[in-house]
């Protein structure tokens, strides 16, 4: 693929805005290659932000495809603005269906984009339906796939995310593992050699880059009248918890037994499930609408405790040295449990969850550094430029 320049003959508002953003970095693409990045959910926006910035700085032409998996303005648009991500050249607007519906429709739509653009690489992140759809569409057209956050395993095949990440890893030509544990998981599955790179975690890159910006720009503590270290932060969104009335009820019971206020940015899907299942939030839980990335970072940095079923939030809690309770049976980030920064509280008993939260409050883990040195994005860009794994 030839290097591409932004020109006056492009069409569409987002394309023109993308050209302007590219021009601010550099008008000439140094490398004769094109990378198509596929994203669709909030955690992917964060990861892509640091990698995209690095690719642009190194003179690589990148095009973004937003599947639309997170389509609410607070779940999507605000992230693009805050993270200073160029608007996607292709917005597929696919979301709201079942896993099978979403994945199938995404594969079909992504395939059309790939046939039109014929990139040198397809870059996917994490473990969502968008991740798997991008990988499948690409490999069927013999376009190599690079997977950021490869090798993570919960060993729970009932999780849609586990299936997505396993299949994507086995389809990918280049696998960027965040930890040595992830590298070991891949090796046990027969994936090793030059295609696997232990690069560190791009979420750590993001935490370093955006943590200070959040302190300078976010006013969420003032808006919510929250005092530093005087509240807990919670997130609940995984289907294994929200689609199971007993588990969701146990989580709410556990929250009710906690002595402090709990701030809960309420995922639209979770809000809907609470209504459908006839469950009410306890009095000490303050539900708020989903927030932007910088506000979320500020809420995390300032909390006394975080309780979550999110993989990304577990790590962010560690980055900001806030004790975390994971509301799941297992976690991909086992090194945080071993290091004492995270503890599992399977949502089967409300009193056990309350106890775990109370025991975690004020606790500190070991001084560990499992996620690299904050230069994962640069290593990823260099490997893509070098074409390792093709």
Q: Catalytic one among 147, 197, 237, 267? A: 237
Which H, E and C letters describe the chain, residue by residue? CCCCCCCCCCCCHHHHHHHHHHHHHCCCCCCCCEEEEEECCHHHHHHHHHHHHHHHHCCCEEEEEECCCCCCCCCCHHHHHHCCCCCCCEECCCCCCCHHHHHHHHHHHHHHHHHHHCCCEEEEECCCHHHHHHHHHHHHCCCCEEEECCCCCCCCCCCHHHHHHHHHHHHCCEEEECCHHHHHHHHHCCCCHHHEEECCCHHHHHHHHHHHHHHHHCCHHHHCCCCCCCEEEEECCCHHHHCCHHHHHHHHHHHHCCCCEEEEECCHHHHHHHHHHCCCCCCCEEEECCCCHHHHHHHHHHCCEEEECCHHHHHHHHHCCCCEEECCCCCCCHHHHHCCCEEECCCCCHHHHHHHHHHHCCCCCCCCCCCCCCCHHHHHHHHHHHCCCC
In the residue annotation, 91 being an active-site residue is answered as no
User: Which are the catalytic amino acids?
Assistant: 237
């Amino acid at each position: 693929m030839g290097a591409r320049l932004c020109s006056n003959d492009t069409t569409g508002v987002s394309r023109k805005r993308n050209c302007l953003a590219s021009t601010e970095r550099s008008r000439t693409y140094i490398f004769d290659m094109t990378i198509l990045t596929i994203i669709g959910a909030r955690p992917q926006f964060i990861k892509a932000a640091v990698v995209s910035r690095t690719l642009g700085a190194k003179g690589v032409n990148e095009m973004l495809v937003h599947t639309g998996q997170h389509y609410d303005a607070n779940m999507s648009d605000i992230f693009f603005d805050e993270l200073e991500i160029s608007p996607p050249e292709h917005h597929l607007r696919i979301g709201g269906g079942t896993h099978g519906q979403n994945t199938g429709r995404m594969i079909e739509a992504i395939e059309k984009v790939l046939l039109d653009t014929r990139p040198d690489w397809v870059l996917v992140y994490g473990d969502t339906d968008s991740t798997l759809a991008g990988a499948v569409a690409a490999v069927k057209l013999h376009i190599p796939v690079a997977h950021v956050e490869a090798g993570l395993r919960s060993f729970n095949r009932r999780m849609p995310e586990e299936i997505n990440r396993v299949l994507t890893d086995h389809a990918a030509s280049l696998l960027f593992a965040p930890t040595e544990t992830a590298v070991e998981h891949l090796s046990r599955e027969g994936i090793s050699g030059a295609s696997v790179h232990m690069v560190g975690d791009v979420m750590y890159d993001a935490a370093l880059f955006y943590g200070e910006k959040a302190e300078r720009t976010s006013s969420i503590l003032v808006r919510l009248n929250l005092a530093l270290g005087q509240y807990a932060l919670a997130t609940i969104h995984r289907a294994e918890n929200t689609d199971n009335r007993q588990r969701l009820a146990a989580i709410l019971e556990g929250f009710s037994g906690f002595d402090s206020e709990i701030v809960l940015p309420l995922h639209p899907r979770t809000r809907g499930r609470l209504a459908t299942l006839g469950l009410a939030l306890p009095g000490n839980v303050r539900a708020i609408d989903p927030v932007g990335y910088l506000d979320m970072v500020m809420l995390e940095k300032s909390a006394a405790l975080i309780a979550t079923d999110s993989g990304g939030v577990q790590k962010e809690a560690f980055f900001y040295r806030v004790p975390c309770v994971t509301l799941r049976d297992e976690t991909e980030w086992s090194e945080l449990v071993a290091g004492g920064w995270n503890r599992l509280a399977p949502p089967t008993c409300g009193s056990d969850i309350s106890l775990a939260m109370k025991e975690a409050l004020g606790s500190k883990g070991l001084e560990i550094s499992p996620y690299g040195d904050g230069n994962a994005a640069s290593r990823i860009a260099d490997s893509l430029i070098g074409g390792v794994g093709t």
